[in-house]
Amino acid sequence: MLLRRLLPVLAAVALLITAAPQRAPAAGDAPDSVTVAYQPGIGYSTLIIVKQSGALERRFPGTKFEWKVFTNGDAIRDGIIAKQIQIGAGGNGPFLIGWDRGVGYRLIASMNEMNLWLVSRDPKFKSLRDLQPGMQIGMPSPDAVQAIALRKAAKDLFGDAHKFDANIVAIAHPLGVQALAAGQLEGHLSSPPFEQQEVAAGGHVVFRSYEAFGKSTFNSVYTTEEFNKQYPRFVNVLFDELRSANDMLNKNPEQAAALLSKDTGGKQSTAQFREWITSPDITWDTTPHAFLRTAAFMKEIGMLNKVPANIREIEFPFLKGGD
């Protein structure tokens, strides 16, 4: 009799269990929190558009996202090693050094190719041949892509890649702009938009990074193989969103510029960002370029112990290409 009375209740419970939405397992979805780290400048526009669009937050509402800005790629690399950062973005120099040392990460996507300028306000400093001992050149770090381009130029001009190492001063881009204006630096090798701001303020270009390596990737987004193995869906969604942001930069720069202006709280106008992101010295492209020849040079001058045999060694399979 008791069993007969319970049957309708048990049936109702079973129906509720069957109808209730079943949460997918954590593996392949997303972790509870994700820290995304990048650096100052429009070189990170692709990632900033993903941030400002809220795309990841909509796709993964159960995940808390932290977007952090660091002064250089070395700090981001160290944060990934410490597992305090899950998604990093930066130049190919610190990335390749981390890969060489066994960090175990790969490229999710590149973001751009940018011609980086060494700007000076000293009228006597017109070329790298005028760079003398004691003159200070600001850049993010001695491992940054700016430093590698300067070493390649030194090797080409003087046969000594390390000729200017003592001239390098590590300084964040915004502070470097101020230091150059104050006469505390003889030169500043940075990135857009800082280099454009310096020229607009009376500086002149002494050297361009394309003179060293040709047209080449500036910044990329990456994560560890371990994170990708645990959360492949998240990494693939991020890749898709980066491609969408890249399309916006190329096809709808006005919309992209509005999101970038929003990221600064309106301190820089949409019109100003549109001018910067449509510069002929910038290409928005998710395919990696010049990683292999950069790695070969870094090994040649002692910055790496090994180089990738091909681009596949340092990118996730879905990226499918590059050099």
Phi, psi of 89 (to 5 degrees): -145, 140
- Is residue 12 pLDDT above 50, yes or no? no
- Is residue 19 pLDDT above 60, yes or no? no
Last residue in a domain, options 156, 183, 213: 213
**Could you tell me if residue 9 is inside a domain?**
no
CATH number of the domain within which 80 lies? 3.40.190.10
Query: Over the Cα atoms of the chain, what is R_g?
Result: 23
Mean pLDDT of 296-318: 97
Mean pLDDT of 65-69: 97
Residues 199 and 240 occupy one common structural domain: no
**Could you tell me if residue 225 is inside a domain?**
yes
Residues 234 and 296 occupy one common structural domain: yes
Residues 204 and 256 occupy one common structural domain: no
Distance CA 256, CA 258 (A): 5
Residues 198 and 222 occupy one common structural domain: no
**Could you tell me if residue 8 is inside a domain?**
no
Residues 208 and 222 occupy one common structural domain: no
pLDDT at 18: 36
- Whether 57 and 107 have beta carbons less than 8 Å apart is answered as no
Last residue in a domain, options 213, 231, 249: 213
Q: How far apart are the first and last CA of the chain?
A: 76
DSSP state of 23: P
Residues 224 and 307 occupy one common structural domain: yes
**Could you tell me if residue 97 is inside a domain?**
yes
pLDDT at 5: 41
- Is residue 15 pLDDT above 50, yes or no? no
**What range does the domain containing 301 cover?**
33-114+217-319
Nearest to 245 by CA among 49, 42, 40, 53: 49
| Exposure letters 225-249 (e unless 16+ CB within 10 A, then b) | eebbebbeebbebbbebbeebbebb
- Is residue 20 pLDDT above 70, yes or no? no
Residues 148 and 276 occupy one common structural domain: no
Residues 102 and 248 occupy one common structural domain: yes
Residues 104 and 148 occupy one common structural domain: no
Which has more confidence, 153 or 11?
Answer: 153
- Is residue 318 pLDDT above 90, yes or no? yes
Residues 98 and 152 occupy one common structural domain: no
pLDDT digits (tens, 9 = 90+) for 245-283: 999 999 999 999 999 999 999 999 999 999 999 999 999
Total domain count, the chain: 2
Residues 226 and 312 occupy one common structural domain: yes
pLDDT at 94: 92
Residues 166 and 197 occupy one common structural domain: yes
pLDDT at 298: 98
Last residue in a domain, options 162, 184, 213: 213
pLDDT at 122: 97
Distance CA 20, CA 28 (A): 21
pLDDT at 73: 87
How many CB atoms are located within 10 Å of the residue 26 CB? 12
pLDDT band at 321 (very low <50, low <70, confident <90, very high): confident
pLDDT digits (tens, 9 = 90+) for 199-215: 999 999 999 999 999 99
- Whether 179 and 138 have beta carbons less than 8 Å apart is answered as yes
For the record, the structure tokens of 16 come out as 């509720």
